[in-house]
Amino acid sequence: MDQQLTFADSEFSNKRRQTRKEKFLGRMDKLIPWARLEAVIEPHYPKAGNGRRPYPLSTMLRIHCMQ
**For 9-66, how does the pLDDT look when each residue is reduced to its tens digit (9 = 90+)?**
777 666 778 889 889 889 999 999 999 999 999 999 998 888 899 999 999 999 998 8
- The terminus-to-terminus CA distance of the chain in angstroms comes to 44
Residue 33 lies in a domain: yes
- pLDDT in the model for residue 18: 84
Residue 12 lies in a domain: no
Residue 28 lies in a domain: yes
Are the beta carbons of 57 and 38 closer than 8 angstroms?
Answer: yes
Domain coverage including residue 36? 18-44+54-66
Question: What is the secondary structure of 4-67 as a DSSP string?
Answer: PPPHHHHHHHHTPPPPHHHHHHHHHHHHS-HHHHHHHHGGGSPPS-SSSPPPPHHHHHHHHHH-
pTM above 0.85, yes or no: no
**Tally of domains within the chain:** 1
